[in-house]
């Protein structure tokens, strides 16, 4: 199996007027190259953690540092991870002031309770000595002052390694200016899911992703023998007809990488096939 990798930096077009599509493409290309080397050396799970951390550290993306602020001016972040070997979903919801929410989610794999939310999650992160970070980036503070209600923005990585392990991870700062405490799809099985047949990471309007149970539904269909591209297209036919704004990245056990775009949304993605890289900007 040639290791394959796909990453995303959110759906729904570029929402911050300061940044261009080219900047997103450049950032995604740099991150996918670095993450692919990690995939070759350390396997799918480590690569997903590494790739999501790089995306969380980059303020262009709405995750980790550079997350959008909720209505009360605070940043609350969510992340989840799952792989085909452990088949354990773990996630963190609305955690505050940590540099890498994906690490908090990952550490919960080994615990009795695998999903934590709110203040308990932040206290847990402190006890685990997760790196502290104030995620407030200047352009996000400006957006908040202008009361920009976003709809999209998240990061995700799906990888398959040489041994066939598939791993999916997602991290988000939410939609922006939402009611404090809103729960996004990212740390639910609708937003992130993986089994032996495929892995999925979603982005876009979380409420719609949850209503459609997107990631878990696609994995279940592929488990029932539907090819990944057909399972994705079936779901997005419905999404487009209902004007649902979300997208996803996915990868199956044969190494097929499929991107899904819903109504009026465009996933900012990069795929690494081992020899070449493809991005959302087709020239």
Nearest CB to ligand ASP, comparing residues 39 and 216:
216
As to burial, measured by CB atoms within 10 angstroms (0-12 exposed, 13-18 middle, 19+ buried), residue 243 is exposed
**Shortest Å, Cβ 182 to ligand ASP:** 7
By CB under 6 A, name the binding residues for ligand ASP.
10-11, 152-154, 172, 174-175, 184-186, 203-206, 209
Q: Catalytic residue, from 35, 122, 152, 154: name it.
A: 154
**Residues 6 or more apart from 49 whose CB is under 8 A from it?**
81, 102, 103, 106, 169
- For residues 38, 44, 47, 49, the Cα torsion angle rounded to the nearest 10 degrees is -160
Nearest CB to ligand ASP, comparing residues 157 and 165:
157
The CA distance from 131 to 122, in Å, is 11
CB 71, CB 92: distance < 8 Å: no
**Shortest Å, Cβ 214 to ligand ASP:** 10
The CA distance from 142 to 160, in Å, is 39
Nearest CB to ligand ASP, comparing residues 3 and 10:
10
**Shortest Å, Cβ 9 to ligand ASP:** 10
User: Any idea what DSSP says for residue 253?
Assistant: T
Tokens 């997602």 — which residue? 170
**Shortest Å, Cβ 91 to ligand ASP:** 13
**Shortest Å, Cβ 263 to ligand ASP:** 14
As to burial, measured by CB atoms within 10 angstroms (0-12 exposed, 13-18 middle, 19+ buried), residue 193 is buried
Nearest CB to ligand ASP, comparing residues 13 and 230:
13
* 154 given a catalytic annotation: yes
Q: Which structure tokens are listed for 164?
A: 């066939």
The CA distance from 248 to 209, in Å, is 10
Nearest CB to ligand ASP, comparing residues 3 and 153:
153
CB closest to ligand ASP, residue no: 206
Residues taking part in catalysis: 154
């Amino acid at each position: 199996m040639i290791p394959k990798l796909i990453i995303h930096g959110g759906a729904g077009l570029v929402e911050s007027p300061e940044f261009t599509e080219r900047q997103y493409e450049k950032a995604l290309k740099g991150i996918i190259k670095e993450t692919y080397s990690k995939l070759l050396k350390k396997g799918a799970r480590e690569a997903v953690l590494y790739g999501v951390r790089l995306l969380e550290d980059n303020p262009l993306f709405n995750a980790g540092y550079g997350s959008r602020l909720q209505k009360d001016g605070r940043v609350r972040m969510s992340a989840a991870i799952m792989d085909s070997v452990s088949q354990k979903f773990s996630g963190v919801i609305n955690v505050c002031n940590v540099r890498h929410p994906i690490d908090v989610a990952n550490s919960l794999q080994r615990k009795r309770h695998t999903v934590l939310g709110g203040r308990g999650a932040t206290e847990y992160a402190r006890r685990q000595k997760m790196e502290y970070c104030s995620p407030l980036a200047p352009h996000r503070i400006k957006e908040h002052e202008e009361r920009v209600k976003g709809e999209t923005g998240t990061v995700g990585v799906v990888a398959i390694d040489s041994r066939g392990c598939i791993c999916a991870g997602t991290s988000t700062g939410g939609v922006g200016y939402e009611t404090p405490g809103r729960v996004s799809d990212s740390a639910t099985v609708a937003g992130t899911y993986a089994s032996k047949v495929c892995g999925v990471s979603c982005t876009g309007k979380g409420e719609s992703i949850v209503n459609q149970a997107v990631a878990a539904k696609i994995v279940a269909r592929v488990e029932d023998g539907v090819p990944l591209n057909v399972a994705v297209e079936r779901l997005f036919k419905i999404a487009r007809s209902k004007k649902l704004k979300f997208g996803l990245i996915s990868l199956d056990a044969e190494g097929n990488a499929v991107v899904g775009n819903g109504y009026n949304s465009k996933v900012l993605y990069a795929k690494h096939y081992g020899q070449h890289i493809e991005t959302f900007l087709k020239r």
